[in-house]
Structure 1
């Protein structure tokens, strides 16, 4: 369905990613009429964030979705080893509190379809796919709803609501319409994505390899690797030139066991992502709230993006539910959401910026001039010798800062 069969709801969510779908699910289960507008016809898009941390796995359990999530095709990791030119450091998840002593790497389209199916059992939930928000309804300086295009029929629709939530990602249309501009941090790298067939004898787990010639992350998808190659900022076109020869050589150098499969990859198989880290100074305006990447775009480092977005959605549902039930959400409540979620996003981005400066070298160097080895950065070089560090490191990654929790499937929301 590409349109909503009504002209007014209690909340419009722009964007059907993890933040938008979790928020829609929570509000609908609490009896709030919510419409999620997703501009694409389905969720089937490759090379999106798919690292689901223990903090999110715990929330899925509390929502009664843990077993259904566990049945999805996924790669579970109890430990991750980051390998540098002169050593390695381990993230160990085996001592995490709670039920999950692992993280899960699952195709995002499977995760989103699970959330959509669960939300669809609530009569208050409406999902329109191929529905693109292209304008805001304004009255007396306040957002009062959206106008959106039904891309199936070409017709435009008007949908009024006391609250519009922008969960439409780092290139947020709602943010642009509100004329809100995030502050961007320098990022020294971009990312190339490619599928590589798997073969007998390949490693089973996720590969994290950082070198003077670049960084390579490979996720086991069963019969293929989903590989992400970190490259110097703005070098994607140069890297893919010559039918992708440089990419093939670099991946083969970082993961030699794939060399026999590189001949089957050409430039058309290589997708590019411009890595961004940015954050809004203010995540709200009267009648509208921005969450997830629309408020704070994250680097792919540590795979935190999905999880921070989901935590934003849970906090927003809890804080805003009373106002949504009354039919009016105050600016004070919108500001409360930002106050709760701002510092976890800011501190995580700070850590990402430090990590990218230490882990990622400019990678389009002349191959004829050997680069100095990329050494394990301080303080990891020292801390890795402390026996408890892998567990502490794993806890910081898998649980994050200020994880949101439900004491029951929906009970805390009614007491927000």
Structure 2
């Protein structure tokens, strides 16, 4: 019977961060990742100062520095009547006062390689979690399949704790009460080339009437998020692709020499925007974090960073009980994870809901008075930068996680929180 201390479903940012931290505590942890590698087109490539600080605390900054990332230091809003910088990350009192635009597969590889250096860590790829295993009313492991072995493959992995990090369509959170929030938009994701003569555009939110386009300068291309009415994707795709070209040029005339880079609708990816959270993040033997516990809107690009904060809090509370192997203590610790991370999540989602409601109710073409103030008094830009870049309850890496167990095995008596 195959067994581990903790099994984590999903090798995304939350799953790998949690796996690394628990392994550094000496917990036997197995991460089951559905795909063969991380080479996929992610949208959550904005790594905020809070996450960069955590990577630094874990001793990984020298490795992160070598990745192909581009810093974003400012976010501005552009209306028909004018523009203003609304968030200046360079004003933050943080070790790395910028948002790093880094391809997520590079970041995940870096974390996975660091975790692989820990004796207690194991990552299994092509491993799709099918359902939880139950024993005496408690989640006691997972059923999973090796996707390379065919449909007949059915395996079991038993564990003291199962952690759902398998995204907003999590199979493990089934049965836990979920609260859904209405979102009036869906999102198109596309990219346009960055030409040699372009200046660094940072982050730009372009608003005209009810049209909204978010543009992030990735250094060698622009990543763009164009909001469309909810459920309108199929109808809009009946128009020629030149219609989208015209809309983009209307919003940013300087894009006229590159919109042909969107050759067809195949270059436009649809994201069904979801905004929800579990009312209860855990049950005996199971806890969900990240998108599995709360799907976020793409507003602010904060989903990956909230997920990482969840993972750090989870590791702090769960490491001790997992090392001791006490089921009741593990379940109490899982509930503590929700108590600590629920209100930052609810507050952030509340702000996202408010912004979506404003987008639906009001046509913005004039620069709003609050934006004028931010443009007139640059020191005010630190507030939005802190809310976006640091968050309302940032987590710090536990002291016991800042040193690899490969060089110094952790004393379990020190892991109490």
In the superposition, the TM-score normalised over structure 2's length comes to 0.90
Distance 1:246 1:24, change over 3 A: same
1:395 aligns with 2:383: no
Match of 2:233 among 232, 236, 239: 236
Aligned-partner Cα distance in 1 for 2:387–2:147 = 42
Q: Are the counterparts in 2 of residues 229 and 251 from structure 1 also a CA contact under 8 Å?
A: no
* Deviations 1:131-186 (CA, angstroms, capped at 9, x unpaired): 1101211011110000101001122210000100001111111112xx22421111
| 1:297-316 map, 5 Å | 297-316=295-314
Unaligned runs of 5+ in 1: 1-5, 363-371
Distance 1:389 1:358, change over 3 A: farther
141-150 vs 186-195, which moves further: 186-195
1:38 aligns with 2:39: no
Match of 1:81 among 76, 80, 88: 76
Distance 1:9 1:33, change over 3 A: same
Unaligned runs of 5+ in 2: 404-413
Match of 2:194 among 187, 190, 198: 198
- Across the aligned residues of Structure 1 and Structure 2, the Cα RMSD in angstroms comes to 2.1
TM-superposed CA distance for 1:357, in Å, is 2.5
* Deviations 1:282-316 (CA, angstroms, capped at 9, x unpaired): 00000000000111111111111011100000000
Distance 1:97 1:360, change over 3 A: farther
The number of equivalent residue pairs is: 400
154-163 vs 322-331, which moves further: 322-331
Distance 1:196 1:360, change over 3 A: farther
TM-superposed CA distance for 1:85, in Å, is 2.7
Aligned-partner Cα distance in 2 for 1:130–1:164 = 18
298-307 vs 71-80, which moves further: 71-80
* Deviations 1:337-367 (CA, angstroms, capped at 9, x unpaired): 10000000000001111122334679xxxxx
1:227 aligns with 2:229: no
Match of 2:316 among 301, 318, 323: 318
| 1:101-250 map, 5 Å | 101-154=97-150, 155-176=153-174, 179-204=175-200, 205-250=202-247
Q: Are the counterparts in 2 of residues 62 and 407 from structure 1 also a CA contact under 8 Å?
A: no
Any idea what SS the aligned residue of 2:237 has? helix
* Deviations 1:180-221 (CA, angstroms, capped at 9, x unpaired): 242111111111111212223334233321222522222333
Distance 1:84 1:181, change over 3 A: farther
1:260 aligns with 2:289: no
255-264 vs 11-20, which moves further: 255-264
What's 1:251 paired with? 248
Q: Are the counterparts in 1 of residues 25 and 400 from structure 2 also a CA contact under 8 Å?
A: no
| 1:45-64 map, 5 Å | 45-64=40-59
